[in-house]
Amino acid sequence: MAILQRQNTLTNPTHIDEWDRDHSWHPFTQMEEYCSVPQLHVERGQGCWLWDTEGNRYLDGNASIWTNAHGHNEPDINAALVEQIGKIAHSTYLGLSHPVGAKLGKRLVDLAPESLNRVVFSDNGSNAIEIALKLSFQYWQLVGKPEKRLIVGMENGYHGDTFGTMAAGNSDAFHGRFQPWLFESLKFAAPECSELDGKVKSADMGKSLCQLEEVLEANAPQIAAVVLEPSIQGPAGMRLQPAGFLKEVETLCKRNEVHLILDEVFVGCGRTGSVFACQQEGVDPDFLCLAKGLTAGYLPLAATLTTEKIYEAFLGAFDTGRAFYHGHTFTGNPLAASVALKSLEKLERLISSGRLEKTIYYFGRKLAESFEGQRNVGDIRQRGLAAAIDLQPRQGCVPWPPNDRVGLKVCLEARKHGLLLRPLLDSILIVPPLVINQEEIDFLFDNLRTALEAVMKNIGN
Ligand SMILES: *Cc1c(COP(=O)(O)O)cnc(C)c1O
């Protein structure tokens, strides 16, 4: 009886609100602010849509934090998951294998640039980068160059929230306070590029490449690797790189005998129109890190791809201690691997059929049409299915104080119009599932525009 009563209260939405407020601690969230605005509990999803506990429907405008590819509750992926769960949900990858893990490793290597032939699985993006950093560090020790241990990161880089990734990254706003605990790393300027609907509005990579060249030439014997997010720095607000930039970075790394680690946690798996972003420039990195979209937004899984040359340096008799001691309990989880395999199969069809390209084209068009020249819109950046709209006060007005939370206000207003988005300060980031259709793109931008106009009117802009 007591158990029955408890189950009843567990499904009562009023309690869910209360329990969430009383006991949850949400990441990247000022909880004081969170508790002061209406809560939203997502209960189910279908395609690009989400429903909350009160039955309201929302378009998933940020693909459930940049992960969803083929829609929610997708029949083929569900079937792959059900098939795998009927066999086994989890078995370790430490010293053992399983068929879906082996298949996924082979599939990733087939899809990836030529140089990459080995896959280390883990379970989130930060780990994928952390593993690449540690593999690079250990590699140089194993080949007799232990002094090569500095990491070079790019301005505005974000690679995760663990200590190694914070040190390699450059997100002062998020991580500045942890500086005293971070290992030393070098930085170089990011290039500049504004692009929308396939048209480059401005671009400059000269300063960035000069700085990288200087840093490498002055310190190469001490540098292990350069790490960056190719094509788009998503978490920094969709900051773009001009075409040709990555190829130049690759050339500089090769010339200076420094590893190139590409963080494709965000841009990988179709986001920019190809399976991997680095393929658009024919770049062959030493490490390629994947997570977010790898399982189409279903389950946590990450992969760090690397070369046979690096792998071979770790081989030897047991007592040489050359093995790589970094693994997570749920590394290469079979459920997640089965979903990733199915998702990659569907992604290849989405690309080869031309559908993804058409979607990207329409997304760029509609975004430009809806917001270019708008009074409170500054720069708009878009590449692939990723976009940012920088909001700004009307000309001549003083900048909005941060506590005005204009970006958040626009996103909260958008909710009332059936649209879920997450701001980055006063920028609105838009990252829909890869299968979003034209009607849904219209819905997205029409309602975002309505929300933006309503908020501007309200705050007197
Ligand atoms: C999200 C993200 C990460 C971190 O991934 P987690 O799974 O959140 O640890 C790293 N790099 C980039 C570019 C990301 O977008």
Atom of ligand 1 nearest to the CA of 229: 13
Sheet holding 42-46, edge to edge: 42-46, 49-52, 57-60, 419-420
Atom of ligand 1 nearest to the CA of 235: 15
Distance (Å, rounded) from C-alpha 40 to C-alpha 53?
8
- Cα–ligand 1 centroid distance for 408 (angstroms): 21
Atom of ligand 1 nearest to the CA of 160: 4
Atom of ligand 1 nearest to the CA of 291: 7
Question: What integer is the mean pLDDT of 141-154?
Answer: 98
Task: Please give the pLDDT value at position 1.
Answer: 41
- Cα–ligand 1 centroid distance for 127 (angstroms): 9
Q: Which residue has the tokens 């899809």?
A: 111
Note the pLDDT tens digit of each residue in 205-215.
999 999 999 99
| Helix residue spans in 24-160 (DSSP H) | 31-34, 63-66, 75-85, 99-111, 125-142
pLDDT bin (cut points 50, 70, 90) of residue 347 is very high
CB atoms within 10 A of CB 424: 16
Q: 2-16, 70-84, 426-440 — which is least confidently predicted?
A: 2-16
Note the pLDDT tens digit of each residue in 38-57.
999 999 999 999 999 999 99
Give me 123's structure tokens. 């379970």
Give, for ligand 1, the residue of 292, 424, 429 to mutate: max count of ligand atoms closer than 8 Å to Cβ: 292
Average pLDDT, the chain: 95
Task: Please give the pLDDT value at position 220.
Answer: 98
Note the pLDDT tens digit of each residue in 329-342.
999 999 999 999 99
Q: Residue with the nearest Cα to atom 10 of ligand 1? A: 159
DSSP string covering 260-301? EEEE-TTTTTTTTSSSSGGGGGT---SEEEE-GGGGTTSS--
pLDDT bin (cut points 50, 70, 90) of residue 394 is confident
Instruction: Give domain 40-73+354-459's CATH superfamily.
Output: Aspartate Aminotransferase, domain 1 (3.90.1150.10)
pLDDT bin (cut points 50, 70, 90) of residue 314 is very high
Distance (Å, rounded) from C-alpha 84 to C-alpha 230?
33
pTM of the model: 0.96
CA distances, 228 to each of 51, 100, 214, 260, 263 (Å): 36, 30, 17, 8, 6
Please, what's the b/e burial string for 439-456 (b: 16 or more CB within 10 A of its CB; e: otherwise)?
ebbebbbebbbebbbbbb
H or E element at residue 455 = helix 438-458
Task: Please give the pLDDT value at position 173.
Answer: 87
Q: Which residue has the tokens 């720069």?
A: 379
- Cα–ligand 1 centroid distance for 411 (angstroms): 22
- Cα–ligand 1 centroid distance for 317 (angstroms): 35
Above 80 in pLDDT, residue 354? Answer: yes
**Domain residue spans of the chain:** 40-73+354-459, 78-351
Is residue 204 within 8 Å of residue 242, measured between CB atoms?
yes
Task: Please give the pLDDT value at position 14.
Answer: 74
Q: Helix or strand or coil: residue 222? A: helix
- Cα–ligand 1 centroid distance for 325 (angstroms): 22
Above 60 in pLDDT, residue 249? Answer: yes
Q: Which residues pair with 148 in a beta bridge?
A: none
- Cα–ligand 1 centroid distance for 270 (angstroms): 16
- Cα–ligand 1 centroid distance for 160 (angstroms): 5
CATH class of domain segment(s) 78-351 = alpha beta
Task: Please give the pLDDT value at position 67.
Answer: 98
Above 60 in pLDDT, residue 387? Answer: yes
Which residues form the pocket of ligand 1, taking CB atoms under 6 Å from any ligand atom? 124-126, 158-160, 229, 234-235, 263, 265-266, 291-292
Give me 103's structure tokens. 């298949």
Above 60 in pLDDT, residue 6? Answer: no
Distance (Å, rounded) from C-alpha 166 to C-alpha 178?
8
Atom of ligand 1 nearest to the CA of 267: 13
Distance (Å, rounded) from C-alpha 305 to C-alpha 105?
9
CA 446-427-394 angle, 5° bins? 80
Q: Residue with the nearest Cα to atom 15 of ligand 1? A: 266
- Cα–ligand 1 centroid distance for 85 (angstroms): 27
- Cα–ligand 1 centroid distance for 111 (angstroms): 21
Could you tell me how many residues make up the chain?
Answer: 461
Give, for ligand 1, the residue of 133, 159, 166, 174 to mutate: max count of ligand atoms closer than 8 Å to Cβ: 159
Is residue 445 within 8 Å of residue 366, measured between CB atoms?
yes
CB atoms within 10 A of CB 331: 20
pLDDT bin (cut points 50, 70, 90) of residue 11 is low
Give, for ligand 1, the residue of 68, 158, 166 to mutate: max count of ligand atoms closer than 8 Å to Cβ: 158
Identical fold for domains 40-73+354-459 and 78-351, yes or no, is: no
- Cα–ligand 1 centroid distance for 125 (angstroms): 4
Question: What integer is the mean pLDDT of 178-207?
Answer: 96
Task: Please give the pLDDT value at position 366.
Answer: 98
